Amino acid sequence: MAVSLKKRDKYEEVYYKRLATNKAAFDLMTEEQQKVVRDTQVALRRFVTEFSETFDVTTPTARDLQDCFWRMNNAFRTEEGAE
């Protein structure tokens, strides 16, 4: 079922508002704090990608790390298309 234009517009409005809110909050962090968050995101992304390409992500620890990665990614996303 196709998403109506009105629903898509509402989704995009919420999405862009969230990006702006995240960016404003992120900008309040010190440079060191921002660097730690970004470095952690990169390390988690690398681990999740390598681990899921090599193994089935079925262990509780792997699932937890993967879940944390995506939650962190979404919580600190500050621009469109950034993952």
- Rounded Cα–Cα distance for residues 31 and 13 (Å): 29
Amino acid identity, position 48? V
Q: How far apart are CA 18 and CA 78, in angstroms?
A: 8
- Global pTM value: 0.64
The model's pLDDT over 14-58, given as tens digits with 9 standing for 90+, comes to 989 989 998 999 999 999 999 998 898 888 888 888 877 776 666
Do 62 and 55 touch, CB atoms closer than 8 A? yes
